[in-house]
Amino acid sequence: MSIRTVPTQPFDDQKPGTSGLRKKVGTFQQPHYLENFVQAIFNALENGKGKTLVLGGDGRFYNREAIQIILKMAAAAGFGKVLVGHNGILSTPAASCLIRKYAAFGGIILSASHNPGGPHGDFGIKYNTDNGGPAPEKVTDAIYAYSRHLQHYYILEADDVPLDTLGHFQLGKMAIEIIDSVNDYAEMMESLFDFTAIRQLFTGNTFRMRFDAMHAVTGPYAHDIFEKRLGAPAGTVMNGTPLEDFGGGHPDPNLTYAHELVEMLFGAQAPDFGAASDGDGDRNMILGKRFFVNPSDSLAVIAANAHLAPGYQYGLAGVARSMPTSMAIDRVAHALNIDCYETPTGWKFFGNLMDAGRVTLCGEESFGTGSSHVREKDGLWAVVFWLNILAVRQQSVEDILREHWTRYGRNFYTRHDYESVDSNIAKNIMAQLHDNMVTLAGKTFGARRVAYSDDFSYTDPIDGSKSTGQGIRIGFEDGARIVFRLSGTGTEGATLRIYVEAYEADSARHAQDTQDALAELIGIANQISGIREKTGRMEPTVIT
């Protein structure tokens, strides 16, 4: 075995986004493309020689080939050991768990999360640091800087490693261990939640649940946790075999793309509880019998009932939410007399707060919820947390939500996604909103008067770093608000997102349909942005 130095030239499109580098599979398959980015990661890291890496992905097309390339490059870079998920599979939260449990130097996760897979789909790669969380901007900036000037990369000439075989292998001087992808993560779930109480839910066949793994990474985890450890009947997990193209589906757990599960939960013979997760296992959708739980409400309910789970029985240090996420969690934090932090979108912003002991729970409206047990959002964790709450309270999902709203009031909240919009049109819409925001304060739209309008910025209370340009906020005097953002997770065109929120204290009005309750604000958002006229879209692609 020898290390080969391969001449290359820089690519100009390898700047990581909020979740690493995401491109079409064909882009990554270009000669030297993946290798360049991996070499840039290794160049940006300090003191990695002899250290341990964690490596795995969501099983999408090109996952296995990429792992073989990365292993050979890690050996050439001098790493001492790599822990690899069996069959190349690791959910994103499980990878974070392994990094933390085994005190690894960091990890490389191969995923494009909720984006479609297959030969013509998307692929992604990101680096997580030794706390188990996504690399901070100072690291991703360094990776990008190295990628722009690469002239060569290093790779070990060696045979491929058998990813399907558990055990120990060697690549040059580097040790490789193919490990059970599920066990460490499942044991962590058992340490946090009351599995004995949850098992009782499934005793007697009176409680029925369906979990949709969407042919993505969580299938093996869900089979082990729900059907094996918790005793749910076989068949509880649907679409549980990971496929390279996710069975031709779009592995995004929302009302549009998880339609098979939604139809079941809103059907005549609906189960009591339904849930789904995404491509890499870090997102979740929660459903009751003919009842959808908004992700922002889910975060608030978990916070209000956290004491029911053994791992959280002694209280929460604090909570955090991304700026576009509804303020339902703020009301729970106020009642619990704990801090609530508002951060930009991107899980890395929660990492500093968790490392400093400031927050225990955090979440984003885009179906991401998590806690300080790892440094990633965690889809299955949220589902098991809900099962713990249901087991203890012995109520339906709908009853729990309605009691929550009666106590805290209801934050009516929706997100409208306009996907694959021409990038120039989307940027022009945002630029015009930015230019006009200073003139909006004091203006009246119908019965609502604008109290403020700004472009959200954030100063990290731990390290003092600043983030600007995080989304246009328009707040009204009655507390309602509208937020406009461009998403950074797609690979085609741009996704323009509009978030609309209004608080309702009167429990007699809580049963309203969300879109009806927010219809006036939605109209104002369309009026201010001109999105329908400028995009030619009369309706959003996805409504949450």
What local confidence, expressed as pLDDT, does residue 99 receive?
98
In this structure, are 422 and 397 located in the same domain? no
Q: Of these residues, 91, 111, 113, 147, which one is catalytic? A: 113
451 phi and psi angles, rounded to 5 deg: -90, -35
Same domain, 157 and 198: no
- Total domain count, the chain: 3
State whether 391 and 333 are in the same domain: yes
Q: What is the pLDDT of residues 131-161, one digit of tens each?
A: 999 998 889 999 999 999 999 999 999 999 9
Domain limits for position 65: 2-181
- The answer to whether 16 and 143 are in contact (CB under 8 A) is yes
* Residues 113 and 226 both lie in one domain: no
Are residues 396 and 514 both part of a single domain?
no
Specify the pLDDT at position 489: 53
> For the stretch 174-184, what's the b/e string if a residue is b when 16 or more beta carbons lie within 10 angstroms of its beta carbon?
bbbebbebbeb
One domain, residues 321 and 344: yes
Alpha helices in 409-469 (DSSP H): 423-436
Q: State how far the Cα of 361 lies from the Cα of 415, in Å rounded to an integer.
A: 22
Q: Is the pLDDT of residue 487 over 90?
A: no
155 and 196 housed in the same domain: no
Q: What is the dihedral of CA 42, 46, 47, 50, to 10 degrees?
A: -10
Tell me which of 408, 443, 458 is where a domain ends: 408
Which token pair is 440? 């909006």
Same domain assignment for residues 389 and 418? no
Angle, CA of 232, 238 and 242, to the nearest 5°: 115
Domain boundary among 408, 423, 445: 408
Q: How many CA atoms lie within 13 A of 266 on its CB side?
A: 11
CATH number at residue 428: 3.30.310.50
190 shares a domain with 156: no
Shared domain check, 307 and 442: no
Give the CATH number of the domain where residue 139 resides: 3.40.120.10
Final residue of a domain: which of 181, 212, 241?
181
**C-beta neighbour count of 371 within 10 angstroms:** 27
State pLDDT tens for residues 75-134.
999 999 999 999 999 999 999 999 999 999 999 999 998 899 999 999 999 999 999 999
d(CA 275, CA 50): 41
189 and 319 co-located in one domain: yes
> Is 507 among the residues known to form the active site?
no
Each residue of 288-325: pLDDT tens digit? 999 999 999 999 999 999 999 999 999 999 999 999 99
* pLDDT at residue 540, rounded to an integer: 87
Residues 234 and 119 in one domain: no
